Each structure stands twice: as structure tokens, then as C-alpha cells.
Amino acid sequence: MLTNVLIYLVLLVIGGLLSYKGLIHKKLIKKAGSLQLFFLYVLIFIMGLRIGLDRDILDAIYSIGLKAAIYALTTIIISAFMVFIVSKYIIKSHLKGESVNDS
């Protein structure tokens, strides 16, 4: 896991520094959004593929699917609610509805 985290961090920092220092052509920066979207869909497809290929997941869905779905839904709702409260009343920077991907 640690190696992966380091690789992700290095790639993020290299990409960030190159564009921060203006070393990436403006055309590529403009294209970065659509390239990002393309790779995003590829990534989601692969994630779906992995779920479909994993027979353990499919077997588990039949036996405890409903219980797990309720757990998943509740944990993300309460988690998002807590962050909502913290960002609105403590951080006081409740970002919403600004230009999406304002780069």
C-alpha cells in the first residue's frame, strides 16, 4: 500500500509542479480535462469488471446483500452529514456550485 501511495503522491506532485511552473503547454492543460474524463471512464469500467469477475462478491450479494447495502448507505449518509456540519459551522468554507473544475 505504501508504495502505491508514494507513486500516487509523486505523480500528483510532478503533474502539479509541471503545470504550476508553466512547463505544460496551455493546449495540453485544456485537453487535460477531457483526457481525465476518458481515463476516468476506463477506470470505472475496470472497477466494474473487477466486481463482475469476483465470484466472492457475487455469492455474498445473494446472502447478505441487503444488510451490506443498508450499512453502506447509512455510513456514507452520516459521514457526509458530519462533514456538512463541520464545513458549514467550523471551517466556514462550504464550497458548492462554483464553476466545476475551475482550472
Partner 1 sequence: MTAKILLVLFAGIGTGIFLLEPEFMAKTDILLDIGLCLLLFFVGIDIGSNKKAFIHLKKIGFKLLLIPISAAMGSILGGMMISVFIGMNIFEGGAVGAGFGWYSLSAILIAPYSSELSTIAFLTNVFREILAIIFIPITAKYIGYFETIALGGATAMDTTLPIITRNTNSETAVVSFVSGLLMSIFVPILVPLFIALI
Minimum Å gap between C-beta 25 and partner 1 is 11
Q: What mask, x for binding partner 1 by CB under 8 A, covers residues 58 to 87?
A: x-xx-xxx-xxxxxxxxxxxxxxxxxxxxx
Q: Is residue 3 near partner 1 by the rule CB under 8 A?
A: no
Q: Is residue 42 near partner 1 by the rule CB under 8 A?
A: yes
Q: Is residue 7 near partner 1 by the rule CB under 8 A?
A: yes
Is residue 103 classed as helix, strand or coil in its secondary structure?
A: coil
Q: Is residue 44 near partner 1 by the rule CB under 8 A?
A: yes
CA angle 67, 45, 61 (to 5 degrees): 20
DSSP 5: H
Minimum Å gap between C-beta 8 and partner 1 is 5
* Structure-block grid coordinates of residue 2: 505504501
Minimum Å gap between C-beta 64 and partner 1 is 6
Minimum Å gap between C-beta 27 and partner 1 is 12
Give the DSSP letter string of 12-75.
Answer: HHHHHHHHHTT-S-HHHHHHHHHHHHHHHHHHHHHHHHHHHH-HHHHHHHHHHHHHHHHHHHHH
Q: Is residue 41 near partner 1 by the rule CB under 8 A?
A: yes
